[in-house]
Amino acid sequence: MSLDKEKQMVTMIDPPNGNLYGFPKIFPDNTGNIPAWLVENGYPQSEVDKWNGSVPYKIWQWEVVSQ
Q: Write out the chain's pLDDT in tens, 67 residues.
A: 456 678 899 999 999 999 999 999 999 988 889 999 999 999 999 999 999 989 999 999 999 888 6
Local structure of residue 53 (DSSP, 8 states): T
What range does the domain containing 41 cover? 6-66
Whether 45 maps to a domain, the answer reads yes
What is the total count of domains within the chain?
1
Its pTM stands at 0.82
Whether 46 maps to a domain, the answer reads yes
CA 22 vs. chain centroid, Å, equals 9
Whether 41 maps to a domain, the answer reads yes
Whether 36 maps to a domain, the answer reads yes
Whether 1 maps to a domain, the answer reads no
